[in-house]
Amino acid sequence: MERELPQPDRDRLSVLTALVLVAYILTRVVVLPPATAEVRLLGLLVRVQVNTLSVMLALAGALAAAGADWLIRAHPWHPAGQSTRQHWIVPGLAALGAGAILARIPEGPAWWIGLGLAAVLLLTVLVTEFVLVDADDPRYDGAAIGVTALAYLLLAGSLYAVRASGLRATFAIPLIFLAATSVAWRLLLLDGPRPGTLAYAFVIGLAAAQIAWGLHYWPIAPLRWALMLGLAVYVGTGLIQAHLRGGIDRAARFEFSAVAVLALLGIAILR
């Protein structure tokens, strides 16, 4: 007799999604006085400004990560006491990315449509992470493909936002390192926990940060820049996954080739 497939708690999903959407709405309603702080870092005077958007985006990301933990711990097959940190990454990125995009859309029907799409994205990510709790779940492989695609898409979006915002290298490079390391770590764990996974992810993040540092002052359009770094993270993660699996099979070679060709075409064509 087949066991019943677990489903995420609908009440928790609804509450979590509603809270994140409220954070997005508050960016249009609440006006916080901006606060500026200046600190010296490695001999440089660094100015940090906190405003309504940054506070609400941080709140949305934190709510999504905490909500993912809340949802995952309700999974009937989740081992008691086991960490859920890997399940926080993609929901957190989704909440931050969706909020950043919504902030650039003027008020009107387009913004409300975007809000609805953000809710769908967040629900999709949370349900996918819920399925990935149990490697024996027959839906696992499909969910792994879905979360992989979403992770790279959200990473590229985050990299684009960093570049388009015009952040100084002092802020941009650490953010890129953190995003690339987190995404690589999450995707490497899809094959199961292995010794050294975090170290591999750290190397990928460091490589992405080094490339970003080298390209930071080049006159490269944000979309091209994001595709370059995203491709570097994709190749690095894929090669390490192949190494851990014992080699690159035909399907993996085809995937690498197809993604590389598409990314290079995007880099060459898109502005």
Contact indicator for 211, 190 with CB cutoff of 8 Å:
no
**Which residues, 6 or more positions from 43, have their beta carbon under 8 angstroms from its beta carbon?**
none
pTM assigned to the model: 0.86
The SS3 of residue 166 is coil
Please list the pLDDT of the chain residue by residue as tens digits (271 residues): 456 788 888 888 999 999 999 999 988 887 777 777 666 665 666 666 777 788 888 899 999 999 999 899 888 877 777 788 899 999 999 998 888 888 888 888 999 999 999 999 999 999 999 999 888 888 888 999 999 999 999 998 888 888 887 777 777 888 899 999 999 999 999 887 888 899 999 999 999 999 999 888 888 888 888 888 988 898 889 888 888 877 777 777 777 777 777 777 777 776 6
**Rounded Cα gap, residues 235 and 238, in angstroms:** 5
